[in-house]
Amino acid sequence: MAIDSNFDQNRERAGEENGVAVWGPVEPPEKLGIHGTHVAVDYDICLADGACLENCPVDVFTWVDTPDHPVSEKKVEPTNEDQCIDCMLCVDICPVDAIDVDASRQA
């Protein structure tokens, strides 16, 4: 299952972590929601492949620990989403379609 590209309409904003919005539902440690707005990562799909973080030309992503999450115990946070240049590399490279990028969505 891929990230819902209409999450900003279909989900409630549940708060903020590491400077980015979190879209619920959030029920840790199993459900962690979607992190980010312009650059959004579905934490419940992300399996910590890391290709997005290693290849983003402007270093948008940082690792965060997510102990006891059933898919992976770390995730990529779009910490620097305001620097995104919309190259779409991360969207294309993610093996599980956990990332959506849309410049019309602003935090």
8-state DSSP, 19: T
Q: Does 86 bind ligand SF4 (CB under 6 A)?
A: yes
Burial of 14 (0-12, 13-18, 19+ CB in 10 A): middle
Instruction: Pick the piece of the chain touching ligand SF4 (CB under 6 A) from 4-12, 21-29, 64-72, 83-91.
Output: 83-91
Of 29, 58, 63, 70, the one binding ligand SF4 (CB under 6 A) is 58
Q: Does 101 bind ligand SF4 (CB under 6 A)?
A: yes
Please confirm whether the linkage preceding 70 is cis (ω < 30° from 0). no
At 43, list the tokens.
Answer: 């934490």
Residues that bind ligand SF4 (CB under 6 A): 39, 56-58, 60, 84-90, 101
